[in-house]
């Protein structure tokens, strides 16, 4: 660099240039620091603003905004959901809360219950169709769909809430309502293949499959909550266990008695879906007598 | 209908004097214009070859098409439903109507929550237009269903279900990041499966 013979005094240019470059770099770093400090300050301020008490309106309207539910769908991948579904079929391993560090998701609950509504309504009607003798007309029962929706989406919210409240009252810690709703929904996954099996109208097969579903779902819940139960609720854990098992028994009895009930045959027409017609006929004959 | 340059028919007139002309045009012209727009969108949505611009046409969403297809499907299925009690026909109509609109709403919400950046109504519009093949199969089965054995009835049902699902899955899958594609696509499958099941069993 200093090979050109211009009157450069010895080694003056490189140090000056180097100093300049160094000064520039230093200045740039200082500016970066200031800017990032500002940014950090802004972030801290934002967080503080968020931690301030929300207004009354914000508190009540929050569940109606989409943003409220965004955290439950944020880090989902197909693989995580598949892992959770797979884990629900093996109730003896308590691995559910280790998948993605126990982060609750709402994708599972919504779509598992939606699939269940479809499966139960379809399977119930298929089993009824296969059970009616061939000389009787089969009438598809459309009431299964609204009934199944109300039942399943109702228990989706109420039973986890009951479990959450009971566990909290008995001293459980590290519990969130959203994670209870999540695990309860994945516990019901085993009912979907059981419904497909139950579309065959054999009563022993149906009872066997439903009992399997009941045992699988209750065990899944109990085994996954076992750590929590042992640590924090030692003495009274049987209350929670009976609550969980009881809810599952009631649910599956409801399924058997409403969707897969084929033992009743209407003596007038021979079909099991003609209960309303039977009542109509009685009313008409009664009225007929009166006139 | 042939469109030489594949541009949609004009919905809105820009100039004032044309606006007054719109008010003065006959009702049949207005209706035909809307029908032509629906037909254009239908071809666009259901025949993938027509999509040269990757779904940008869907930005002009409209809900008339979905409403017409929903009503036709609900009416076809409720006419065909047996009236064991007087409530069955209206049950079917109500179920189909609620299913289509609430289902489209929930599927769209799901895609948005999974990170898809799409306007809400664009997606509802697409899902509604893709109900058209289910309409076709419902009409086929309504007219010829009693003469055909069950296995033969399955063929148009499966074909139309595959057609609906294929048309809407392409759009839906492009909205979300690749590791969530199946999560966004499964609800669409469930939606059209539910509707196809209805047209099969009624």
B95/A146 Cβ within 8 A: yes
The structure tokens 């009354």 sit at A56
For A172, residues 6+ apart whose C-beta sits below 8 A from its C-beta are A228, A229, A232, A233
Any chain A CB within 8 A of the CB of B95?
A: yes
pLDDT of residue A259: 85
**How far does B58 lie from chain A, in Å, by closest CA?**
23
Tell me if B108 sits within 8 A of B173, measured CB to CB. Answer: no
Threshold 0.80, pTM exceeds: no
Of the two residues B52 and A237, the one the predictor is more confident about is: A237
For residue A139, the chain B residues in CB contact (below 8 A) are 82, 84, 88
Measured CA to CA, the distance from residue A134 to residue B5 in angstroms comes to: 58
Is B16 buried (19+), middle (13-18) or exposed (0-12) by CB count in 10 A?
exposed
Tell me if B104 sits within 8 A of B66, measured CB to CB. Answer: yes
- B15 falls in which pLDDT band (50, 70, 90)? low
Residue A270's SS3 state is coil
For residue A71, the chain B residues in CB contact (below 8 A) are none
With a cut of 80, say whether residue B130 has pLDDT above it. yes
Tell me if A207 sits within 8 A of A256, measured CB to CB. Answer: yes
pLDDT of residue A264: 44
DSSP characters over A165-232: HHHHHTT--S--HHHHHHHHHHHGGGHHHHHHHHTS--HHHHHHHHHHHHHHHHHHHHHHHHHHHHHH
Q: Tokens representing B166?
A: 């294929």
Tell me if A80 sits within 8 A of A99, measured CB to CB. Answer: yes
Share in percent of chain A as helix, strand, coil (round to 5): 75, 0, 25
E runs forming strands in chain B: none
A122/B202 Cβ within 8 A: no
For residue A276, the chain B residues in CB contact (below 8 A) are 84-85
Measured CA to CA, the distance from residue B55 to residue B45 in angstroms comes to: 8
With a cut of 90, say whether residue B9 has pLDDT above it. no
Any chain B CB within 8 A of the CB of A277?
A: yes
Count how many residues are written for chain A: 291
Any chain B CB within 8 A of the CB of A122?
A: yes
For A209, residues 6+ apart whose C-beta sits below 8 A from its C-beta are A194, A197, A198
DSSP characters over B108-120: HHHHHHTT----H
Confirm whether the ipTM is greater than 0.90.
Answer: no
With a cut of 70, say whether residue B37 has pLDDT above it. yes
With a cut of 60, say whether residue B14 has pLDDT above it. no
A277/B84 Cβ within 8 A: yes
pLDDT of residue A277: 37
Of the two residues A263 and B68, the one the predictor is more confident about is: B68
Q: What percent of chain B has pLDDT over 70?
A: 81
Most confident of A124-133, B9-18, B83-92: A124-133
B113/A73 Cβ within 8 A: yes
- B34 falls in which pLDDT band (50, 70, 90)? confident
pLDDT of residue A285: 42
Give the residue among A216, A247, A218 at the shortest CA–CA distance from A89.
A216
Most confident of A61-70, B8-17, B83-92, B140-149: B140-149
Any chain A CB within 8 A of the CB of B113?
A: yes
Kindly provide the b/e burial profile for residues A61-70, where b requires at least 16 CB atoms within 10 angstroms of the residue's own CB: eeeeeeeebe
Measured CA to CA, the distance from residue B23 to residue A193 in angstroms comes to: 59
Tell me if A131 sits within 8 A of A272, measured CB to CB. Answer: yes
B190/A76 Cβ within 8 A: no
With a cut of 90, say whether residue B62 has pLDDT above it. no
Half-sphere exposure at residue A9, Cβ-oriented, CA atoms within 13 angstroms: 3
**How far does A4 lie from chain B, in Å, by closest CA?**
59
What is the tens place of the pLDDT at every residue in B150-192?
888 888 899 999 999 988 888 888 788 888 888 889 999 999 9
Measured CA to CA, the distance from residue B73 to residue B75 in angstroms comes to: 5
Of the two residues B19 and B133, the one the predictor is more confident about is: B133
Tell me if B178 sits within 8 A of B190, measured CB to CB. Answer: no
At residue A283, what are phi and psi to the nearest 5 degrees? Answer: -60, -45
Residue of B nearest to A112 (CA): B187
∠A128-A133-A137 over CA atoms, to 5°?
A: 75
B115/A78 Cβ within 8 A: no
Q: Tokens representing B15?
A: 């100039």
What one-character DSSP code corresponds to residue A268?
A: T
What one-character DSSP code corresponds to residue A12?
A: S
A145/B95 Cβ within 8 A: yes
A77/B110 Cβ within 8 A: no
The low-confidence residues of chain A, meaning pLDDT below 50, are 1-10, 263-264, 273-291
For residue A69, the chain B residues in CB contact (below 8 A) are 113
Give the residue among A172, A189, A184 at the shortest CA–CA distance from A224.
A184
**Partner residue opposite A76 with nearest CB, options B109, B183, B194:** B183
**How far does B6 lie from chain A, in Å, by closest CA?**
37
pLDDT of residue A231: 79
Residue of A nearest to B193 (CA): A118
Measured CA to CA, the distance from residue A215 to residue A238 in angstroms comes to: 16
Q: How many Å from the N-terminal Cα to the C-terminal Cα in chain A?
A: 124
Q: Which of residues 124-163 of B touch A (CB under 8 A)?
A: none
For B168, residues 6+ apart whose C-beta sits below 8 A from its C-beta are B126, B127, B130, B188, B192
Residue of B nearest to A129 (CA): B201
Any chain B CB within 8 A of the CB of A279?
A: no
pLDDT of residue A6: 46
Measured CA to CA, the distance from residue A223 to residue A240 in angstroms comes to: 12
Q: Tokens representing B19?
A: 């606006």
């Amino acid at each position: 660099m200093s090979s050109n013979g211009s009157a450069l005094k010895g080694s003056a240019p490189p140090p000056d240039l180097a100093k300049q470059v160094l000064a520039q770099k230093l200045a740039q770093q200082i500016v970066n620091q200031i800017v990032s400090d500002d940014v950090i300050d802004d972030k801290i301020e934002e967080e503080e603003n968020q931690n301030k008490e929300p207004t009354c309106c914000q508190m009540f309207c929050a569940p109606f905004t989409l943003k409220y539910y965004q955290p439950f769908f944020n880090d989902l991948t197909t693989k995580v959901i598949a892992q959770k579904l797979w884990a629900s079929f093996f109730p003896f391993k308590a691995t559910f809360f280790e998948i993605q560090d126990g982060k609750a998701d709402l994708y599972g609950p919504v779509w598992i219950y939606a699939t269940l509504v479809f499966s139960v309504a379809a399977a119930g009607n298929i089993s009824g169709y296969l059970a009616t003798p061939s000389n009787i007309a089969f009438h598809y029962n459309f009431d299964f769909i609204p009934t199944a929706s109300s039942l399943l989406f109702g228990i989706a919210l109420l039973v986890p809430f009951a479990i959450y409240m009971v566990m909290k009252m008995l001293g459980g810690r590290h519990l969130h309502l959203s994670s209870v709703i999540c695990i309860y929904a994945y516990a019901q996954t085993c009912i979907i293949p059981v419904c497909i099996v139950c579309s065959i109208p054999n009563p022993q097969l149906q009872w066997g499959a439903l009992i399997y579903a009941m045992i699988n779902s209750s065990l899944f819940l109990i085994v996954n909550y076992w750590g929590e139960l042992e640590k924090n609720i030692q003495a009274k854990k049987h209350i929670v266990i009976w609550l969980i098992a009881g809810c599952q028994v009631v649910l599956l009895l409801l399924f058997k008695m409403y969707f897969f009930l084929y033992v009743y045959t209407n003596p007038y027409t021979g079909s099991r879906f003609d209960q309303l017609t039977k009542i109509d006929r009685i009313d008409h004959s009664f009225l007929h007598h009166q006139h | 209908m042939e469109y030489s340059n594949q541009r949609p028919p004009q919905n809105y007139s820009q100039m004032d004097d044309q606006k007054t002309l719109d008010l003065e045009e006959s009702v049949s012209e207005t209706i035909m214009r809307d029908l032509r727009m629906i037909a254009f969108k239908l071809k666009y949505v259901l025949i993938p070859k027509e999509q040269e611009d990757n779904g940008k046409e869907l930005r002009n969403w409209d809900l008339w098409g979905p409403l017409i297809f929903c009503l036709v499907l609900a009416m076809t299925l409720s006419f065909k439903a047996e009236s064991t009690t007087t409530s069955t026909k209206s049950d079917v109509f109500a179920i189909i109507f609620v299913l289509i609109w609430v289902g489209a709403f929930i599927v769209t919400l799901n895609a948005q929550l999974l990170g898809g950046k799409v306007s809400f109504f664009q997606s509802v519009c697409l899902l509604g237009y893709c109900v058209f093949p289910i309409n076709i199969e419902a009409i086929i089965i309504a007219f010829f269903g009693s003469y055909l054995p069950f296995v033969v009835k399955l063929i148009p049902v499966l074909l139309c279900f595959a057609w609906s699902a294929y048309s809407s899955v392409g759009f839906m899958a492009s909205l979300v990041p690749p590791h969530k594609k199946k999560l966004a696509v499964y609800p669409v499958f469930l939606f059209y499966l539910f509707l196809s099941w209805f047209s099969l069993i009624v």
